[in-house]
């Protein structure tokens, strides 16, 4: 499952990187295409101004000859308009060819030729106005020669711009085709990667649905098995109680009426009775443990400080007998099952009072603080940033070796032999763990031989 998830993540990353690379390449090509398009438009603008200058130059010659023939002042107005037009065209050409050194040189020569041409035209008009002769003057021939020179320069500029236009147009066409093909490839790659990822996700979704169905079936089987085990445990605990009670009754009757019975038989009957009593206690504890798997009460807000005071009141005789010092600091109010919490804290305090060291005054403390779940992250990494009430029950008793931590919460597991002076049936901590599970919490134990033990309870902080 994790391997497939890693493959999907890698595929998504590869898709993302490929899309970025192709997008950047496409943007670069499109930028180049745009620059060529701008260059083509610019060259078109230069050519248009050159043609306008050529037209205005011809119009000057036509109006000049018209005035020489007719002496009509209307031709002078047209001629002045044409002169203004050609000057504007030359000024525009000077601006828009600033990035082309060769054309700038041509514009400078054209500007000088146009100035000479206009000066010659004006001198010829003055000559025509002052002389009644119909013979063309020297100024007219100079004007015609300058017009030819201006036309030659304009034609040279137009040919250069046409050549430049062809080059830029070819570049524009090339990058236009390249941009189009790049976009097509980009779309194709995107579609292929998307389809592949979609297929992988569909396959993963089907696998997860199949796993979910299998898990659901196993959960149903587990619930059925759990229910059956509860029924078996309940029946066994109740059915075993009756023969045990009869064993106890009959053994007591024999002991009570045992006149003439020797001491060995009395000891044997006493052991039978004692074993039956211990068996009955084990069955009671087992019944208590199995009953915790079926919760019949509702959660309520429980003040743990007040509850622990009641527990200490019940354990007062045992505390005085041990000469113990029990310090309960302020504990939180949590939402839980009151009866189960009472069993939990009574079992922990009873455990601390039971496993004390000889010659050492027992010291037991209960305290709490709100922390993040870093201490239970090894159980579930998702608990790392969840908040918990951490309640610590510590003592200075006999402690235990931490290598037995996994054993102490198992049912009927004891760290001391049966004949040890420390009585116990090995079920108390299993009950504590079951109660913590019912509260969606965790219990962790730490111990040190002959130094004491510490039990940490982690209750989730509800919003």
Q: Torsions phi, psi of 367, nearest 5?
A: -145, 170
Per-residue pLDDT, 366: 92
124 or 345, which is more confident: 345
Query: Is a pLDDT exceeding 60 seen at residue 417?
Result: no
The per-residue pLDDT for range 40-74, each reduced to its tens digit, is: 888 888 888 888 888 888 888 888 788 787 888 88
What proportion of the chain, given as a percentage, has pLDDT over 70?
83
pLDDT confidence tier of residue 298, bands split at 50, 70 and 90: confident
273 or 63, which is more confident: 63
Mean pLDDT of 165-191: 78
Query: Is a pLDDT exceeding 60 seen at residue 415?
Result: no
Domains of the chain with CATH codes: 2-202 (1.20.120.1730), 297-460 (3.30.565.10)
* Candidate from 25-34, 77-86, 281-290, 413-422 with smallest mean pLDDT: 413-422
The per-residue pLDDT for range 215-227, each reduced to its tens digit, is: 888 888 777 766 6
The per-residue pLDDT for range 356-384, each reduced to its tens digit, is: 888 888 899 999 999 888 888 777 777 88
């Amino acid at each position: 499952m994790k391997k497939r998830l890693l493959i999907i993540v890698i595929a998504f990353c590869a898709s993302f990187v490929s899309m970025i690379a192709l997008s950047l390449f496409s943007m670069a090509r499109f930028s180049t295409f745009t620059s060529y398009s701008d260059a083509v438009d610019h060259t078109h603008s230069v050519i248009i101004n050159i043609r306008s200058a050529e037209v205005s130059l011809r119009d000057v010659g036509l109006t000049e000859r018209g005035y020489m023939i007719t002496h009509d002042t209307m031709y002078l107005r047209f001629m002045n308009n044409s002169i203004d037009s050609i000057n504007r065209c030359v000024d525009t050409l000077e601006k828009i060819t600033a990035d082309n050194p060769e054309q700038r040189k041509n514009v400078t020569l054209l500007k000088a030729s146009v100035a000479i041409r206009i000066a010659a035209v004006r001198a010829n008009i003055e000559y025509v106005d002052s002389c009644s002769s119909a013979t063309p003057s020297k100024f007219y021939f100079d004007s015609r020669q300058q017009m030819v020179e201006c036309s030659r320069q304009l034609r040279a500029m137009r040919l250069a711009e046409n050549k430049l236009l062809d080059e830029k147009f070819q570049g524009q066409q090339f990058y236009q085709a390249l941009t189009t093909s790049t976009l097509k490839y980009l779309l194709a790659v995107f579609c292929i990667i998307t389809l592949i990822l979609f297929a992988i996700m569909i396959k993963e979704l089907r696998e997860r649905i199949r796993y979910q169905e299998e898990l659901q079936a196993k959960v149903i089987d587990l619930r059925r098995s759990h229910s059956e085990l509860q029924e078996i445990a309940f029946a066994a605990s109740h059915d075993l109680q009756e023969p045990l009670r009869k064993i106890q009754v009959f053994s007591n009757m024999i002991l009570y009426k045992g006149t003439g019975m020797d001491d060995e038989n009395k000891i044997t009957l006493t052991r039978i009775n004692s074993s039956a009593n211990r068996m009955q206690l084990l069955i009671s504890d087992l019944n208590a443990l199995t009953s915790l798997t079926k919760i019949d009460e509702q959660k309520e807000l429980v003040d743990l400080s007040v509850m622990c005071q009641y527990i200490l009141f019940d354990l007062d005789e045992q505390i005085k007998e041990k000469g113990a010092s029990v310090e309960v600091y302020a504990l939180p109010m949590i939402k839980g099952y009151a009866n189960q919490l009472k069993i939990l804290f009574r079992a922990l305090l009873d455990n601390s009072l039971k496993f004390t060291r000889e010659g050492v005054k027992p010291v037991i403390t209960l305290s709490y603080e709100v922390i993040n779940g870093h201490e239970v992250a090894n159980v579930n990494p998702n608990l790392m940033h969840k908040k918990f009430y951490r309640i610590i029950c510590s003592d200075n008793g006999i402690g235990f070796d931490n290598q037995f931590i996994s054993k102490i919460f198992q049912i009927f597991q004891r760290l001391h032999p049966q004949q040890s002076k420390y009585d116990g049936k090995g079920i108390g901590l299993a009950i504590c763990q079951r109660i913590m599970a019912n509260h969606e919490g965790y219990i962790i134990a730490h111990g040190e031989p002959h130094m004491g033990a510490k039990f940490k309870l982690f209750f989730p902080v509800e919003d």
